[in-house]
Amino acid sequence: MPVVPNPSFHPPWWLRNAHAQTLWPSLVRKVPGLSWQRERLELADGDFLDLDWSRTGSRRLVVVTHGLEGNSRRAYVAGMARAANRRGWDALAWNFRGCSGEPNRLCRSYHSGATEDLAAVVARAARDGAYDRVAVVGFSLGGNLTLKYLGELGAAPGLVCGGAGLSVPCDLRAAAMKMAGPACAFYMRRFLQDMGGKMREKARQFPGCVDLSALEGMTTFQQFDDAFTGPMHGFQDAEDYWAKCSAKRFLPRIRVPTLVLNALDDPFLAPECFPFAEATANAHVTLEAPSLGGHVGFVSAGADYWSERRTIEFLSAA
C-alpha cells in the first residue's frame, strides 16, 4: 500500500511546533552555493515566464514550482534545487506570471490549476534534447498545480519520469475553509496583502480589468477567488475554480511515480487534503504523512532539509 503514515522525519527538539516549522525557513534560512542563469520564455498568448536554471551538465532535470506569492529565489525552492544538483540533477525553477519581479503583460495572473504554464516550461526543457528524464516538483499551490499536471498527462508523460508535491492543498475548497479560521489569521493577512497589491498593479496596467472595490474588507480566499481569480481566468466563482482545479480529483489518472508529502500538523491543510484513499487505490502515487513538519517546513539538522533529501531520493529511484 503506497501510504506511509509515519516517515522517518525527526525535527530538532526546539522546532517541533507546526508554526515554528512553517515560519523558520522563510525567516531564517539562506541557501548559498547556487549559480542561477535566467531565461525569459515567451508564451504563445503573448505573455512570458522567467526561468532560473542551475545546471551541472546532467541528463536529468528537476523542474521546481513555487507556492502562492512565492518566486524562484525563495529558500525552499533554492534548497530543492541545491539538493537536486548534489544528487546529479540539473534544476529549473520557474516563476508564475507576475512573480519574477516584473508584472506580466496580460489581464490575467496565475492560479492553482494553470497547468498550461508548467507544460510550456517542460516543453522548453525538452526542446534542445539535453535531457533524458524530467521530474516535476511543486510546493503548496505549486504542488497542487504539479499533481494536476501529472494527472492530465496520464499514460502519455513523454520525458516526465516522476513528480512530487510538498505541503499540497489538493482539496482547494477544504484548504480555503481551513485558512479562513482564526489559527491562520496571520498568514491570511500576509497573503491577501501581497495578492491585493498584485491586483492594484493590474488595475494600473489595465484600467477596468479588475474591480478594486472588492478588496475593501476582504478577509478570505473565497472572497478573493470570487472577485479576482474566477473572473480573470474563466471560472464562474471560487467554488467553480476550486472544483475544477483541485488536484485530488486528478490523482487517480497519474501514471508515473509520484510522491505527496504532507505533514499531519500542517496549519494550512484540512483533513480532506490528505489523499489516503487515492494513494491506496493508485500504485503510482505514494503519500507520506509525517506527524510533524508544518507547511513547507520539514526542518532537520544538516544543510539539506529532510523533505529535500526524501524528494530527490524518491525521484532518483523513479
Total count of domains within the chain: 2
Domain co-membership, 22 together with 148: yes
What would the pLDDT profile of 203-225 be if each residue is shown by its tens digit? 999 999 999 999 999 999 999 99
Can you tell me the mean pLDDT for 157-168? Answer: 96
Domain stops at, among 230, 245, 260:
245
- Supply the pTM of this predicted model: 0.96
Residue 58 falls in the annotated catalytic set: no
Tell how far CA 249 is from the center of its chain.
17
What would the pLDDT profile of 17-35 be if each residue is shown by its tens digit? 999 999 999 999 999 889 9
* Catalytic residue (one of 295, 300, 304, 307): 295
Q: What is the CATH number of the domain that holds 52?
A: 3.40.50.1820
Can you tell me the mean pLDDT for 103-131? Answer: 96
Tell how far CA 60 is from the center of its chain.
20
Can you tell me the mean pLDDT for 30-43? Answer: 94
Residue 295 falls in the annotated catalytic set: yes
Domain co-membership, 65 together with 208: no
C-alpha grid cell, residue 160: 516526465
Domain co-membership, 15 together with 100: yes
Residue 115 burial (CB < 10 Å; 0-12/13-18/19+)? buried
* Catalytic residue (one of 72, 112, 140, 246): 140
* Catalytic residue (one of 50, 90, 266, 304): 266
| Half-sphere exposure (Cβ direction) of 144: Cα atoms closer than 13 Å | 28
Secondary structure of residue 92 in the 3-state scheme:
strand
Domain co-membership, 44 together with 152: yes
* Ramachandran region, residue 61 (left: φ > 0; alpha: ψ -120 to 50; beta: rest): beta
Distances (CA, A) of 295 to 187, 191, 257: 11, 14, 23
Element (DSSP H or E) covering residue 91: strand 90-94
Can you tell me the mean pLDDT for 276-291? Answer: 96
Which structural domain, as residue segments, surrounds residue 269? 3-171+250-317
Partners of 55 in the beta sheet?
A: none
Residue 284 falls in the annotated catalytic set: no
Domain co-membership, 229 together with 84: no
Domain co-membership, 81 together with 140: yes
Secondary structure of residue 16 in the 3-state scheme:
coil
Asked if pLDDT for residue 1 goes beyond 90, the answer is no
C-alpha grid cell, residue 133: 528524464
